[in-house]
């Protein structure tokens, strides 16, 4: 779609309006020929064979490994970003290698034979700003009998999520805070994230959720009650990872979350959810 000579990006709630040659807020999408295209398609910044628990996924093939791939760019600006060295940069700021979906799928298959890899995880930056590459890779992975895993902030429009949901075997989605007030701080949409969790769950994808606990921001009983309640409204069986914050990015001078705070919030969330786990403790 277009507006006054500008292409409107349909991928996330920001709906960047771009003239030809301009790059969106996420640094991964650009206007070209009157439409917005995936500028980071096939551009790989980070590639590693990780434990599945690192995603984090606690109840999906525990003890296994998964080939994890990331590009550049993100549609949020979380001051506490843990992966800011790649998520908050664009094409001209990072080195990358190019790979086709079939090439990555073949690598995943080979690592499956050699090192027990179960599939391909889209992670490190925000995968959904380059959702077309995620979709194409996930289709290739599925053809080879392997698993597709999404690790995302979940801030995407419904058609994008519905397009990739049937191709995802598991996902970990960040539900960063209890309300839109919190998401105003990070630059996202609370409603969009909750909708993403629900779409994936209803599509049969195994979903786990992570909330990073930031001192003074979302570490109250009311905040965790709201987070747990929103997840429980979808399913009380969805696991929640309540994770400890360490100083990063624009909050490098902040204090880490006390372990006692994380453990208190874990117990609180267990009033509404069947599976709540502490992280980074």
E strands, the chain, are: 2-3, 6-8, 17-18, 29-32, 35-38, 43-44, 46-51, 65-70, 97-98, 117-122, 147-152, 170-174, 206-213, 240-244, 276-279
DSSP code of 258? P
Locate the domains of the chain by residue range.
41-279
d(CA 245, CA 61): 26
Q: Which of the residues in the chain have pLDDT under 50?
A: none
Full-model pTM: 0.96
225-252: per-residue pLDDT in tens?
A: 999 999 999 999 999 999 999 999 999 9
192-238: per-residue pLDDT in tens?
A: 999 999 999 999 999 999 999 999 999 999 999 999 999 999 999 99
- Four-way CATH pick for 41-279: 3.90.480.10, 3.40.50.150, 3.40.50.300, 3.20.20.70: 3.20.20.70
Which of helix, strand or coil describes residue 222?
helix
């Amino acid at each position: 779609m277009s507006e006054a000579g500008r292409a409107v990006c349909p991928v996330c709630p920001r709906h960047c309006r771009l003239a030809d040659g301009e790059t969106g807020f996420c640094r991964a999408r650009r206007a070209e020929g009157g439409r917005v295209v995936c500028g980071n398609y096939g551009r790989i910044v980070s590639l590693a064979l990780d434990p599945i628990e690192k995603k984090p996924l606690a109840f999906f093939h525990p003890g296994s490994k998964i080939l994890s791939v990331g590009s550049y760019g993100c549609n949020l600006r979380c001051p506490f970003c843990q992966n800011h060295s790649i998520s908050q940069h664009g094409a001209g700021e990072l080195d990358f290698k190019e790979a086709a979906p079939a090439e990555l799928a073949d690598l995943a298959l080979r690592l499956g034979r050699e090192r027990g890899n179960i599939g391909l995880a889209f992670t490190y930056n925000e995968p959904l700003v380059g959702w077309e590459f995620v979709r194409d890779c996930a289709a290739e992975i599925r053809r080879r009998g392997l698993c597709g895993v999404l690790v995302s902030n979940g801030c995407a429009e419904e058609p994008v999520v519905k397009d990739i949901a049937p191709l995802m075997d598991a996902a970990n989605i960040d539900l960063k805070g209890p309300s839109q007030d919190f998401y105003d701080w990070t630059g996202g949409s609370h409603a969009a994230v909750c909708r993403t969790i629900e779409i994936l769950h209803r599509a049969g994808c195994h979903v786990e959720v992570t909330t990073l606990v930031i001192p003074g921001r979302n570490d109250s009983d009311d905040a965790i009650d709201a987070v747990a309640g929103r997840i429980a409204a979808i399913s009380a069986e969805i696991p929640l990872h309540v994770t400890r914050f360490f100083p990063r990015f624009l909050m490098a001078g902040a204090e880490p979350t006390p372990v006692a705070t994380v453990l208190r919030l874990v117990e609180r969330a267990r009033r509404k959810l069947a599976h709540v786990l502490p992280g980074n403790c």
